[in-house]
Structure 1
Amino acid sequence: MQDKTLYFETLHPGYGQYFEIDKMLYEQQTDSWTLSIFENRRFGRVMALNGAIQTTERDEFVYHEMLTHVPLLAHASAKKVLIIGGGDGAMLREVVKHRALERIVMVEIDPQVVSLCQTWFPNHSAGAFDDPRVELVIADGMAFIANCSEQFDVIISDCTDPVGPGEVLFSSDFYAGCKRCLTQDGIFVAQNGVPFMQLESLQDTVRRMSSYTRECWFFTAAVPTYIGGSMAFAWATDDIEVRRLSLATLEARFNEAGISTRYYTPALHQASFALPHYVEQAIRSAMTESA
Protein backbone atom coordinates (compact mmCIF):
# COMPACT_ATOMS: atom_id res chain seq x y z
CA MET A 1 0.00 0.00 0.00
CA GLN A 2 1.36 3.37 -1.04
CA ASP A 3 2.13 5.77 1.79
CA LYS A 4 0.06 8.93 1.63
CA THR A 5 1.25 12.40 2.50
CA LEU A 6 -1.01 15.31 3.37
CA TYR A 7 -1.52 18.73 1.83
CA PHE A 8 -2.51 21.33 4.40
CA GLU A 9 -4.40 24.41 3.27
CA THR A 10 -3.32 27.43 5.31
CA LEU A 11 -5.35 30.24 3.73
CA HIS A 12 -7.03 31.28 7.00
CA PRO A 13 -4.98 31.79 10.18
CA GLY A 14 -5.99 29.38 12.92
CA TYR A 15 -8.17 27.25 10.66
CA GLY A 16 -7.61 24.95 7.72
CA GLN A 17 -8.20 21.64 6.02
CA TYR A 18 -6.09 18.85 4.63
CA PHE A 19 -6.15 16.64 1.56
CA GLU A 20 -4.57 13.22 1.28
CA ILE A 21 -2.15 13.14 -1.62
CA ASP A 22 -2.73 9.79 -3.28
CA LYS A 23 -0.30 10.71 -6.05
CA MET A 24 1.69 13.86 -6.71
CA LEU A 25 1.34 14.63 -10.42
CA TYR A 26 3.20 17.91 -10.79
CA GLU A 27 5.05 20.33 -8.56
CA GLN A 28 6.89 23.53 -9.37
CA GLN A 29 8.54 25.92 -6.96
CA THR A 30 10.04 29.38 -7.42
CA ASP A 31 11.25 31.98 -4.96
CA SER A 32 7.73 33.38 -4.58
CA TRP A 33 5.30 30.49 -5.08
CA THR A 34 4.77 26.74 -5.02
CA LEU A 35 2.29 25.08 -7.37
CA SER A 36 1.11 21.53 -6.70
CA ILE A 37 -1.17 19.23 -8.68
CA PHE A 38 -2.10 15.92 -7.08
CA GLU A 39 -4.68 13.14 -7.00
CA ASN A 40 -7.14 12.81 -4.14
CA ARG A 41 -9.70 10.02 -3.85
CA ARG A 42 -12.54 12.37 -2.87
CA PHE A 43 -11.89 15.39 -5.10
CA GLY A 44 -10.01 13.88 -8.03
CA ARG A 45 -7.22 16.06 -9.32
CA VAL A 46 -6.48 19.08 -7.14
CA MET A 47 -4.43 22.20 -7.90
CA ALA A 48 -3.01 24.21 -5.01
CA LEU A 49 -0.91 27.36 -4.91
CA ASN A 50 1.00 28.62 -1.88
CA GLY A 51 -1.11 26.72 0.63
CA ALA A 52 -4.48 27.57 -0.97
CA ILE A 53 -6.61 25.18 -3.00
CA GLN A 54 -7.35 26.68 -6.42
CA THR A 55 -9.55 24.08 -8.08
CA THR A 56 -10.55 20.42 -7.99
CA GLU A 57 -12.07 18.13 -10.59
CA ARG A 58 -15.04 17.06 -8.49
CA ASP A 59 -16.58 20.33 -7.29
CA GLU A 60 -15.39 23.02 -9.71
CA PHE A 61 -18.74 22.92 -11.51
CA VAL A 62 -20.49 24.68 -8.60
CA TYR A 63 -18.24 27.72 -8.72
CA HIS A 64 -18.05 28.02 -12.49
CA GLU A 65 -21.74 27.45 -13.21
CA MET A 66 -22.89 30.06 -10.71
CA LEU A 67 -20.36 32.71 -11.70
CA THR A 68 -21.34 32.24 -15.36
CA HIS A 69 -25.03 31.46 -15.66
CA VAL A 70 -26.33 33.85 -13.00
CA PRO A 71 -25.14 37.00 -14.81
CA LEU A 72 -25.71 35.69 -18.33
CA LEU A 73 -29.27 34.50 -17.72
CA ALA A 74 -30.03 37.62 -15.70
CA HIS A 75 -28.88 39.79 -18.59
CA ALA A 76 -30.64 37.61 -21.18
CA SER A 77 -29.38 39.48 -24.27
CA ALA A 78 -25.61 39.50 -23.81
CA LYS A 79 -23.53 39.36 -26.97
CA LYS A 80 -20.03 40.03 -25.63
CA VAL A 81 -18.37 38.61 -22.51
CA LEU A 82 -15.01 39.39 -20.92
CA ILE A 83 -13.35 36.91 -18.55
CA ILE A 84 -10.45 38.15 -16.43
CA GLY A 85 -8.35 35.21 -15.25
CA GLY A 86 -9.81 31.73 -15.47
CA GLY A 87 -6.75 30.13 -17.01
CA ASP A 88 -7.99 26.64 -16.18
CA GLY A 89 -10.69 27.11 -18.83
CA ALA A 90 -13.69 26.00 -16.77
CA MET A 91 -15.33 29.42 -16.79
CA LEU A 92 -14.87 29.51 -20.53
CA ARG A 93 -16.44 26.05 -20.81
CA GLU A 94 -19.61 27.36 -19.17
CA VAL A 95 -19.67 30.66 -21.07
CA VAL A 96 -19.48 29.04 -24.52
CA LYS A 97 -22.65 27.07 -23.71
CA HIS A 98 -24.56 30.29 -24.39
CA ARG A 99 -25.12 30.09 -28.14
CA ALA A 100 -26.32 33.69 -28.52
CA LEU A 101 -22.93 35.09 -27.53
CA GLU A 102 -20.95 36.51 -30.43
CA ARG A 103 -17.61 37.40 -28.83
CA ILE A 104 -15.81 36.04 -25.76
CA VAL A 105 -12.50 37.56 -24.64
CA MET A 106 -10.47 35.83 -21.95
CA VAL A 107 -7.49 37.59 -20.37
CA GLU A 108 -5.00 35.40 -18.52
CA ILE A 109 -1.69 36.68 -17.21
CA ASP A 110 0.20 33.37 -17.30
CA PRO A 111 0.22 31.18 -20.43
CA GLN A 112 1.71 28.37 -18.35
CA VAL A 113 -1.52 28.13 -16.34
CA VAL A 114 -3.48 27.54 -19.55
CA SER A 115 -0.98 24.93 -20.74
CA LEU A 116 -0.77 23.11 -17.39
CA CYS A 117 -4.53 22.93 -17.00
CA GLN A 118 -5.06 21.68 -20.51
CA THR A 119 -2.59 18.91 -19.66
CA TRP A 120 -3.73 18.00 -16.14
CA PHE A 121 -7.34 19.25 -16.09
CA PRO A 122 -8.58 18.73 -19.67
CA ASN A 123 -12.21 18.41 -18.56
CA HIS A 124 -12.13 21.91 -17.09
CA SER A 125 -11.98 23.53 -20.53
CA ALA A 126 -13.46 20.56 -22.45
CA GLY A 127 -12.39 22.06 -25.78
CA ALA A 128 -13.75 25.55 -25.05
CA PHE A 129 -10.54 27.24 -26.24
CA ASP A 130 -11.32 25.94 -29.75
CA ASP A 131 -14.62 27.81 -29.96
CA PRO A 132 -14.27 30.34 -32.82
CA ARG A 133 -15.94 33.08 -30.72
CA VAL A 134 -13.10 32.94 -28.17
CA GLU A 135 -10.09 35.25 -28.14
CA LEU A 136 -7.41 34.37 -25.60
CA VAL A 137 -5.30 37.35 -24.57
CA ILE A 138 -2.15 36.76 -22.52
CA ALA A 139 -1.88 39.93 -20.47
CA ASP A 140 -2.17 41.38 -17.00
CA GLY A 141 -5.87 41.82 -16.20
CA MET A 142 -5.45 45.26 -14.63
CA ALA A 143 -3.37 46.52 -17.56
CA PHE A 144 -5.87 45.13 -20.06
CA ILE A 145 -8.80 46.88 -18.36
CA ALA A 146 -6.87 50.14 -18.06
CA ASN A 147 -6.21 50.20 -21.81
CA CYS A 148 -9.41 48.60 -23.09
CA SER A 149 -11.72 50.71 -25.29
CA GLU A 150 -14.21 47.91 -25.94
CA GLN A 151 -17.42 47.39 -23.98
CA PHE A 152 -18.91 44.09 -22.83
CA ASP A 153 -22.34 43.01 -21.65
CA VAL A 154 -20.94 40.79 -18.90
CA ILE A 155 -17.52 40.91 -17.21
CA ILE A 156 -16.48 37.93 -15.07
CA SER A 157 -13.48 38.35 -12.80
CA ASP A 158 -12.26 34.83 -12.01
CA CYS A 159 -9.49 36.04 -9.73
CA THR A 160 -7.48 34.52 -6.92
CA ASP A 161 -7.76 35.75 -3.33
CA PRO A 162 -6.89 39.44 -2.71
CA VAL A 163 -3.26 38.79 -1.80
CA GLY A 164 -0.11 39.10 -3.85
CA PRO A 165 -0.56 39.60 -7.63
CA GLY A 166 -4.34 39.09 -7.37
CA GLU A 167 -4.82 41.99 -4.98
CA VAL A 168 -5.04 44.60 -7.74
CA LEU A 169 -8.16 42.86 -9.13
CA PHE A 170 -9.98 43.94 -5.95
CA SER A 171 -8.91 47.58 -6.21
CA SER A 172 -11.01 50.68 -6.83
CA ASP A 173 -9.08 51.35 -10.04
CA PHE A 174 -9.93 47.90 -11.36
CA TYR A 175 -13.62 48.31 -10.57
CA ALA A 176 -13.65 51.75 -12.20
CA GLY A 177 -12.06 50.28 -15.31
CA CYS A 178 -14.56 47.43 -15.43
CA LYS A 179 -17.44 49.89 -15.12
CA ARG A 180 -16.05 51.85 -18.07
CA CYS A 181 -15.86 48.62 -20.09
CA LEU A 182 -19.48 47.63 -19.36
CA THR A 183 -22.39 48.39 -21.67
CA GLN A 184 -25.23 50.48 -20.26
CA ASP A 185 -27.03 47.53 -18.67
CA GLY A 186 -23.92 45.40 -18.27
CA ILE A 187 -23.23 43.16 -15.28
CA PHE A 188 -19.93 42.67 -13.44
CA VAL A 189 -19.36 39.60 -11.24
CA ALA A 190 -16.33 38.34 -9.32
CA GLN A 191 -15.44 35.76 -6.70
CA ASN A 192 -15.28 37.44 -3.31
CA GLY A 193 -14.27 34.77 -0.81
CA VAL A 194 -16.15 33.07 2.01
CA PRO A 195 -18.03 35.69 4.07
CA PHE A 196 -17.70 33.88 7.39
CA MET A 197 -13.92 33.89 7.02
CA GLN A 198 -13.44 36.99 4.84
CA LEU A 199 -16.24 39.41 5.73
CA GLU A 200 -13.89 42.38 5.54
CA SER A 201 -13.20 41.51 1.89
CA LEU A 202 -16.88 41.93 1.06
CA GLN A 203 -16.94 45.26 2.86
CA ASP A 204 -13.82 46.38 0.99
CA THR A 205 -15.52 45.52 -2.30
CA VAL A 206 -18.54 47.62 -1.34
CA ARG A 207 -16.34 50.55 -0.31
CA ARG A 208 -14.33 50.39 -3.53
CA MET A 209 -17.05 49.59 -6.06
CA SER A 210 -20.41 50.93 -4.90
CA SER A 211 -19.72 54.47 -6.12
CA TYR A 212 -19.41 53.25 -9.72
CA THR A 213 -22.70 51.38 -10.13
CA ARG A 214 -26.28 51.86 -9.02
CA GLU A 215 -26.27 48.45 -7.37
CA CYS A 216 -23.48 46.57 -5.57
CA TRP A 217 -24.57 43.31 -3.97
CA PHE A 218 -23.56 39.65 -3.63
CA PHE A 219 -24.87 36.18 -4.35
CA THR A 220 -23.62 32.89 -2.92
CA ALA A 221 -23.02 29.21 -3.63
CA ALA A 222 -21.82 26.33 -1.48
CA VAL A 223 -18.51 25.08 -2.88
CA PRO A 224 -17.17 22.22 -0.71
CA THR A 225 -13.50 22.96 -1.40
CA TYR A 226 -13.68 26.58 -0.26
CA ILE A 227 -14.02 26.00 3.46
CA GLY A 228 -15.77 28.14 6.02
CA GLY A 229 -19.26 28.34 4.53
CA SER A 230 -20.85 29.50 1.29
CA MET A 231 -18.71 31.46 -1.16
CA ALA A 232 -19.77 34.99 -2.11
CA PHE A 233 -19.71 36.50 -5.58
CA ALA A 234 -19.72 40.25 -6.13
CA TRP A 235 -22.49 41.64 -8.32
CA ALA A 236 -22.49 45.15 -9.78
CA THR A 237 -24.76 46.74 -12.38
CA ASP A 238 -26.77 49.86 -13.14
CA ASP A 239 -29.88 47.76 -13.80
CA ILE A 240 -31.31 47.48 -10.30
CA GLU A 241 -34.20 45.21 -11.37
CA VAL A 242 -32.13 42.49 -13.01
CA ARG A 243 -31.45 40.55 -9.80
CA ARG A 244 -35.13 40.60 -8.86
CA LEU A 245 -36.39 38.56 -11.80
CA SER A 246 -39.31 36.20 -11.21
CA LEU A 247 -38.75 32.46 -11.11
CA ALA A 248 -40.98 32.06 -14.16
CA THR A 249 -38.79 34.47 -16.14
CA LEU A 250 -35.58 32.69 -15.12
CA GLU A 251 -37.06 29.29 -15.94
CA ALA A 252 -38.15 30.48 -19.38
CA ARG A 253 -34.68 31.90 -20.12
CA PHE A 254 -32.95 28.76 -18.86
CA ASN A 255 -35.13 26.50 -21.00
CA GLU A 256 -34.65 28.69 -24.05
CA ALA A 257 -30.87 28.71 -23.58
CA GLY A 258 -30.88 24.91 -23.68
CA ILE A 259 -27.76 24.59 -21.53
CA SER A 260 -26.98 21.64 -19.27
CA THR A 261 -25.92 22.20 -15.66
CA ARG A 262 -25.16 20.13 -12.59
CA TYR A 263 -25.60 22.78 -9.90
CA TYR A 264 -27.32 25.85 -11.35
CA THR A 265 -31.10 25.97 -11.44
CA PRO A 266 -33.38 28.99 -11.86
CA ALA A 267 -34.64 28.51 -8.28
CA LEU A 268 -31.08 28.49 -6.93
CA HIS A 269 -30.32 31.57 -9.03
CA GLN A 270 -33.17 33.47 -7.42
CA ALA A 271 -32.38 32.25 -3.91
CA SER A 272 -28.64 32.91 -4.17
CA PHE A 273 -29.15 36.66 -3.66
CA ALA A 274 -30.69 36.10 -0.22
CA LEU A 275 -27.89 36.68 2.28
CA PRO A 276 -27.52 35.87 6.00
CA HIS A 277 -28.36 38.77 8.29
CA TYR A 278 -24.78 39.27 9.52
CA VAL A 279 -23.59 39.55 5.91
CA GLU A 280 -26.35 42.03 5.04
CA GLN A 281 -25.46 44.10 8.11
CA ALA A 282 -21.79 44.18 7.13
CA ILE A 283 -22.61 45.18 3.56
CA ARG A 284 -24.99 47.96 4.59
CA SER A 285 -22.49 49.26 7.12
CA ALA A 286 -19.86 49.52 4.37
CA MET A 287 -22.39 51.23 2.08
CA THR A 288 -23.02 53.85 4.75
CA GLU A 289 -19.28 54.48 5.05
CA SER A 290 -18.88 54.91 1.28
CA ALA A 291 -22.00 57.07 0.81
Structure 2
Amino acid sequence: MNVLFFSAKPYDIHFFNQANQEDAHQLTFLEVPLNHNTAALIKGEEAVCVFVNDTVDAAVLQIMATAGVKVIVLRCAGYNNVDLRVAQELGIKVVRVPAYSPYAVAEHTLALILTLNRKTHRAYNRVREGNFALSGLMGFDLHGRTVGLIGLGKIGLVTARILKGFGCRVLGYDISKSNETEEIGVEFTDLDSVYSQSDIISLHCPLTPQTFHLINAESLGKMKDGVMLINTSRGAIIDTKAVIEGLKKEKISYLGLDVYEEGGDLFFEDLSDKVIQDDTFMRLLSFNNVLITGHQAFFTTDALQSIAQITLQNVSDFEAGKPLQNEVLS
Protein backbone atom coordinates (compact mmCIF):
# COMPACT_ATOMS: atom_id res chain seq x y z
CA MET A 1 0.00 0.00 0.00
CA ASN A 2 1.25 3.52 -0.78
CA VAL A 3 1.71 5.53 2.43
CA LEU A 4 2.57 9.24 2.41
CA PHE A 5 4.26 10.54 5.56
CA PHE A 6 4.13 14.17 6.67
CA SER A 7 6.47 15.80 9.24
CA ALA A 8 9.01 13.05 8.65
CA LYS A 9 12.33 13.37 10.45
CA PRO A 10 15.48 11.32 9.73
CA TYR A 11 14.72 9.03 12.67
CA ASP A 12 11.21 8.38 11.33
CA ILE A 13 12.63 7.39 7.95
CA HIS A 14 15.20 5.10 9.57
CA PHE A 15 12.82 3.21 11.86
CA PHE A 16 9.96 2.93 9.36
CA ASN A 17 12.20 1.65 6.58
CA GLN A 18 13.67 -0.82 9.06
CA ALA A 19 10.20 -2.01 10.11
CA ASN A 20 8.87 -2.23 6.55
CA GLN A 21 9.80 -5.89 6.17
CA GLU A 22 10.31 -7.07 2.58
CA ASP A 23 9.07 -3.66 1.40
CA ALA A 24 5.49 -4.64 2.18
CA HIS A 25 4.40 -1.04 1.66
CA GLN A 26 5.56 1.83 -0.54
CA LEU A 27 6.63 4.58 1.87
CA THR A 28 7.06 8.20 0.77
CA PHE A 29 8.42 10.68 3.30
CA LEU A 30 7.85 14.43 3.29
CA GLU A 31 9.58 16.72 5.78
CA VAL A 32 6.83 19.35 5.60
CA PRO A 33 3.92 19.24 8.06
CA LEU A 34 0.41 18.53 6.90
CA ASN A 35 -1.74 21.66 6.75
CA HIS A 36 -4.14 23.48 4.42
CA ASN A 37 -1.35 24.31 1.97
CA THR A 38 0.61 21.04 1.94
CA ALA A 39 -2.45 18.78 1.68
CA ALA A 40 -2.26 19.41 -2.07
CA LEU A 41 0.86 17.19 -2.10
CA ILE A 42 -1.35 14.13 -1.65
CA LYS A 43 -1.49 12.54 -5.09
CA GLY A 44 -3.44 9.31 -5.10
CA GLU A 45 -2.14 7.77 -1.87
CA GLU A 46 -4.80 5.83 0.02
CA ALA A 47 -2.96 6.09 3.35
CA VAL A 48 -1.52 9.23 4.95
CA CYS A 49 0.64 9.02 8.06
CA VAL A 50 0.68 12.04 10.39
CA PHE A 51 2.15 13.12 13.72
CA VAL A 52 1.02 15.25 16.66
CA ASN A 53 1.51 18.71 15.13
CA ASP A 54 -0.05 17.96 11.76
CA THR A 55 -3.37 19.67 10.99
CA VAL A 56 -6.17 17.25 10.13
CA ASP A 57 -9.21 19.50 10.39
CA ALA A 58 -12.36 19.55 8.25
CA ALA A 59 -10.75 21.51 5.40
CA VAL A 60 -7.74 19.19 5.19
CA LEU A 61 -9.98 16.13 5.39
CA GLN A 62 -12.04 17.38 2.45
CA ILE A 63 -8.85 17.67 0.38
CA MET A 64 -7.84 14.18 1.48
CA ALA A 65 -11.18 12.70 0.53
CA THR A 66 -11.03 14.31 -2.91
CA ALA A 67 -7.51 12.90 -3.36
CA GLY A 68 -8.73 9.39 -2.56
CA VAL A 69 -7.36 8.93 0.96
CA LYS A 70 -9.02 6.00 2.73
CA VAL A 71 -7.16 5.86 6.03
CA ILE A 72 -5.28 8.32 8.26
CA VAL A 73 -2.52 6.58 10.18
CA LEU A 74 -1.41 8.36 13.33
CA ARG A 75 2.08 7.42 14.49
CA CYS A 76 1.26 8.58 18.00
CA ALA A 77 -1.29 7.97 20.75
CA GLY A 78 -2.99 11.38 20.73
CA TYR A 79 -5.63 12.24 18.15
CA ASN A 80 -6.91 15.65 19.26
CA ASN A 81 -5.56 17.18 16.02
CA VAL A 82 -8.00 15.12 13.91
CA ASP A 83 -11.63 16.08 13.33
CA LEU A 84 -12.98 12.57 13.88
CA ARG A 85 -16.59 13.46 13.14
CA VAL A 86 -15.77 14.83 9.68
CA ALA A 87 -13.42 11.92 8.97
CA GLN A 88 -16.22 9.48 9.75
CA GLU A 89 -18.69 11.40 7.58
CA LEU A 90 -16.21 11.23 4.69
CA GLY A 91 -15.64 7.51 5.19
CA ILE A 92 -11.96 7.96 6.13
CA LYS A 93 -10.74 5.54 8.79
CA VAL A 94 -8.45 6.81 11.55
CA VAL A 95 -6.02 4.52 13.37
CA ARG A 96 -3.38 5.27 15.98
CA VAL A 97 -0.67 3.76 18.18
CA PRO A 98 -2.41 3.56 21.56
CA ALA A 99 0.64 2.26 23.43
CA TYR A 100 4.20 2.08 22.18
CA SER A 101 6.47 2.22 25.24
CA PRO A 102 4.85 3.46 28.42
CA TYR A 103 8.27 3.03 30.02
CA ALA A 104 9.77 5.74 27.80
CA VAL A 105 7.33 8.42 28.95
CA ALA A 106 7.20 7.22 32.57
CA GLU A 107 10.98 7.21 32.86
CA HIS A 108 11.19 10.70 31.36
CA THR A 109 8.65 11.83 33.94
CA LEU A 110 11.00 10.61 36.67
CA ALA A 111 13.93 12.29 34.92
CA LEU A 112 12.10 15.63 35.15
CA ILE A 113 11.20 15.04 38.81
CA LEU A 114 14.74 14.08 39.81
CA THR A 115 16.40 16.85 37.80
CA LEU A 116 14.14 19.54 39.23
CA ASN A 117 14.50 18.20 42.75
CA ARG A 118 18.27 17.63 42.85
CA LYS A 119 19.04 20.41 40.33
CA THR A 120 21.48 18.23 38.42
CA HIS A 121 21.22 20.46 35.33
CA ARG A 122 22.42 23.46 37.33
CA ALA A 123 25.09 21.44 39.14
CA TYR A 124 26.44 20.18 35.81
CA ASN A 125 26.96 23.72 34.52
CA ARG A 126 28.51 24.88 37.81
CA VAL A 127 31.08 22.10 37.94
CA ARG A 128 32.14 22.73 34.34
CA GLU A 129 32.91 26.29 35.41
CA GLY A 130 34.88 25.12 38.46
CA ASN A 131 32.12 26.09 40.92
CA PHE A 132 31.66 23.35 43.52
CA ALA A 133 29.54 25.36 45.98
CA LEU A 134 26.35 23.62 47.10
CA SER A 135 24.31 26.73 47.86
CA GLY A 136 21.05 26.68 45.93
CA LEU A 137 21.21 22.97 45.12
CA MET A 138 19.24 21.65 48.10
CA GLY A 139 16.75 18.90 47.27
CA PHE A 140 14.47 16.58 49.22
CA ASP A 141 14.04 12.82 49.61
CA LEU A 142 11.42 11.35 47.31
CA HIS A 143 10.99 8.56 49.85
CA GLY A 144 7.90 9.25 51.93
CA ARG A 145 6.60 12.04 49.70
CA THR A 146 3.06 11.96 48.28
CA VAL A 147 2.78 11.95 44.50
CA GLY A 148 -0.55 12.44 42.74
CA LEU A 149 -1.07 10.97 39.28
CA ILE A 150 -3.89 12.29 37.12
CA GLY A 151 -4.51 9.58 34.55
CA LEU A 152 -3.93 5.91 35.28
CA GLY A 153 -3.58 4.43 31.82
CA LYS A 154 -0.53 2.41 30.80
CA ILE A 155 1.89 5.32 31.29
CA GLY A 156 0.36 6.43 34.57
CA LEU A 157 0.52 2.91 36.01
CA VAL A 158 4.16 2.41 34.97
CA THR A 159 4.96 5.77 36.57
CA ALA A 160 3.19 4.60 39.73
CA ARG A 161 5.28 1.42 39.86
CA ILE A 162 8.51 3.41 39.60
CA LEU A 163 7.40 5.87 42.28
CA LYS A 164 6.44 3.04 44.63
CA GLY A 165 9.99 1.77 44.16
CA PHE A 166 11.24 5.11 45.48
CA GLY A 167 9.06 4.65 48.56
CA CYS A 168 6.50 7.29 47.63
CA ARG A 169 2.88 7.34 48.65
CA VAL A 170 1.01 7.40 45.34
CA LEU A 171 -2.47 8.87 44.89
CA GLY A 172 -4.26 8.39 41.61
CA TYR A 173 -7.30 9.68 39.76
CA ASP A 174 -8.87 8.48 36.53
CA ILE A 175 -12.36 8.29 35.06
CA SER A 176 -12.20 4.51 35.51
CA LYS A 177 -10.40 2.23 37.95
CA SER A 178 -8.42 -0.84 36.90
CA ASN A 179 -7.56 -3.84 39.08
CA GLU A 180 -3.87 -3.05 38.54
CA THR A 181 -4.28 0.16 40.54
CA GLU A 182 -4.76 -1.76 43.78
CA GLU A 183 -2.10 -4.33 42.88
CA ILE A 184 0.50 -1.57 42.57
CA GLY A 185 -0.62 0.10 45.77
CA VAL A 186 -2.04 3.28 44.30
CA GLU A 187 -4.62 5.00 46.49
CA PHE A 188 -7.47 5.70 44.07
CA THR A 189 -9.17 8.95 45.01
CA ASP A 190 -10.85 12.10 43.69
CA LEU A 191 -9.21 15.10 42.02
CA ASP A 192 -9.58 17.40 45.01
CA SER A 193 -7.71 14.91 47.21
CA VAL A 194 -4.93 14.64 44.63
CA TYR A 195 -4.66 18.43 44.54
CA SER A 196 -4.71 18.99 48.31
CA GLN A 197 -2.50 16.11 49.48
CA SER A 198 0.21 15.79 46.82
CA ASP A 199 3.74 17.15 47.06
CA ILE A 200 4.21 16.28 43.38
CA ILE A 201 1.46 16.14 40.74
CA SER A 202 2.11 14.44 37.39
CA LEU A 203 -0.29 14.51 34.42
CA HIS A 204 -0.86 11.40 32.31
CA CYS A 205 -4.28 11.97 30.75
CA PRO A 206 -5.36 12.58 27.14
CA LEU A 207 -6.48 15.98 25.90
CA THR A 208 -10.28 16.05 25.75
CA PRO A 209 -12.86 18.80 26.27
CA GLN A 210 -13.01 17.65 29.89
CA THR A 211 -9.24 17.86 30.48
CA PHE A 212 -8.60 21.11 28.55
CA HIS A 213 -7.01 23.52 31.07
CA LEU A 214 -7.68 21.05 33.86
CA ILE A 215 -4.80 22.73 35.67
CA ASN A 216 -6.01 26.30 36.05
CA ALA A 217 -6.23 29.03 38.67
CA GLU A 218 -8.97 27.20 40.57
CA SER A 219 -7.23 23.82 40.69
CA LEU A 220 -3.89 25.45 41.54
CA GLY A 221 -5.59 27.13 44.49
CA LYS A 222 -6.38 23.70 45.93
CA MET A 223 -2.76 22.52 45.79
CA LYS A 224 -0.11 22.64 48.48
CA ASP A 225 2.17 25.66 48.54
CA GLY A 226 5.45 24.69 46.89
CA VAL A 227 3.98 21.87 44.80
CA MET A 228 5.96 20.25 41.98
CA LEU A 229 3.93 20.02 38.75
CA ILE A 230 4.94 17.70 35.88
CA ASN A 231 3.33 17.37 32.45
CA THR A 232 4.41 14.75 29.91
CA SER A 233 0.96 14.25 28.38
CA ARG A 234 -0.62 17.10 26.38
CA GLY A 235 0.24 20.79 26.65
CA ALA A 236 -3.27 22.22 26.73
CA ILE A 237 -4.15 20.29 29.90
CA ILE A 238 -2.33 23.17 31.61
CA ASP A 239 -3.47 26.80 31.45
CA THR A 240 0.00 28.24 30.96
CA LYS A 241 -0.84 31.78 32.07
CA ALA A 242 -2.38 30.47 35.31
CA VAL A 243 0.74 28.39 35.93
CA ILE A 244 2.97 31.44 35.40
CA GLU A 245 0.96 33.25 38.07
CA GLY A 246 1.41 30.20 40.29
CA LEU A 247 5.17 30.37 39.79
CA LYS A 248 5.27 34.11 40.55
CA LYS A 249 3.28 33.62 43.77
CA GLU A 250 5.44 30.59 44.72
CA LYS A 251 2.43 28.29 44.80
CA ILE A 252 4.45 26.18 42.33
CA SER A 253 8.07 25.63 43.35
CA TYR A 254 8.99 23.25 40.53
CA LEU A 255 7.58 22.93 37.02
CA GLY A 256 8.62 20.22 34.56
CA LEU A 257 7.15 20.24 31.05
CA ASP A 258 7.73 18.03 28.05
CA VAL A 259 4.72 19.56 26.31
CA TYR A 260 3.34 23.06 25.86
CA GLU A 261 -0.08 24.15 24.62
CA GLU A 262 1.37 26.22 21.77
CA GLY A 263 4.22 23.79 21.13
CA GLY A 264 3.16 23.10 17.56
CA ASP A 265 5.11 26.15 16.41
CA LEU A 266 8.21 25.22 18.42
CA PHE A 267 8.83 21.56 19.05
CA PHE A 268 10.72 19.20 16.71
CA GLU A 269 12.46 22.11 14.94
CA ASP A 270 15.84 23.80 15.38
CA LEU A 271 15.03 27.44 16.11
CA SER A 272 18.39 28.30 17.66
CA ASP A 273 19.13 30.95 15.03
CA LYS A 274 15.71 32.59 15.29
CA VAL A 275 13.96 34.91 17.71
CA ILE A 276 11.13 32.99 19.36
CA GLN A 277 8.00 35.13 19.15
CA ASP A 278 5.98 33.30 21.82
CA ASP A 279 6.17 35.66 24.82
CA THR A 280 4.38 33.23 27.12
CA PHE A 281 6.86 30.46 26.40
CA MET A 282 9.80 32.82 26.89
CA ARG A 283 8.33 33.93 30.21
CA LEU A 284 8.31 30.31 31.34
CA LEU A 285 11.99 29.99 30.41
CA SER A 286 12.84 32.97 32.63
CA PHE A 287 12.12 30.99 35.83
CA ASN A 288 15.05 29.08 37.28
CA ASN A 289 12.72 26.45 38.75
CA VAL A 290 11.21 25.52 35.38
CA LEU A 291 12.58 22.69 33.25
CA ILE A 292 11.27 22.24 29.69
CA THR A 293 12.15 19.52 27.22
CA GLY A 294 10.97 19.55 23.61
CA HIS A 295 8.37 16.76 23.56
CA GLN A 296 11.04 14.07 23.79
CA ALA A 297 9.53 11.76 26.42
CA PHE A 298 8.62 9.20 23.74
CA PHE A 299 12.05 9.41 22.10
CA THR A 300 13.76 6.07 22.78
CA THR A 301 14.86 3.40 20.33
CA ASP A 302 12.42 0.96 21.92
CA ALA A 303 9.49 3.34 21.51
CA LEU A 304 10.33 4.32 17.92
CA GLN A 305 10.69 0.67 16.90
CA SER A 306 7.32 -0.08 18.47
CA ILE A 307 5.66 2.96 16.86
CA ALA A 308 6.91 1.93 13.41
CA GLN A 309 5.84 -1.70 13.83
CA ILE A 310 2.34 -0.91 15.13
CA THR A 311 1.77 1.84 12.56
CA LEU A 312 2.67 -0.41 9.65
CA GLN A 313 0.59 -3.25 11.12
CA ASN A 314 -2.36 -0.85 11.18
CA VAL A 315 -1.76 -0.20 7.48
CA SER A 316 -1.50 -3.92 6.73
CA ASP A 317 -4.71 -4.65 8.62
CA PHE A 318 -6.56 -1.96 6.68
CA GLU A 319 -5.21 -3.22 3.36
CA ALA A 320 -6.24 -6.80 4.20
CA GLY A 321 -9.71 -5.73 5.34
CA LYS A 322 -9.11 -7.00 8.86
CA PRO A 323 -10.75 -5.48 11.96
CA LEU A 324 -8.88 -2.33 12.97
CA GLN A 325 -7.98 -2.88 16.62
CA ASN A 326 -6.51 0.60 16.92
CA GLU A 327 -9.27 2.52 15.15
CA VAL A 328 -10.34 5.83 16.65
CA LEU A 329 -14.04 6.64 16.42
CA SER A 330 -15.80 9.97 16.92
With the shorter chain as reference, the TM-score category is 0.3 to 0.5
Q: Using structure 1 for the length normalisation, give the TM-score.
A: 0.45
Which structure is larger by alpha-carbon Rg, 1 or 2?
2
Q: More relative contact order in 1 or in 2 (CA 8 Å, sep 6+)?
A: 2
Larger strand proportion of the pair: 1
Q: Using structure 2 for the length normalisation, give the TM-score.
A: 0.41
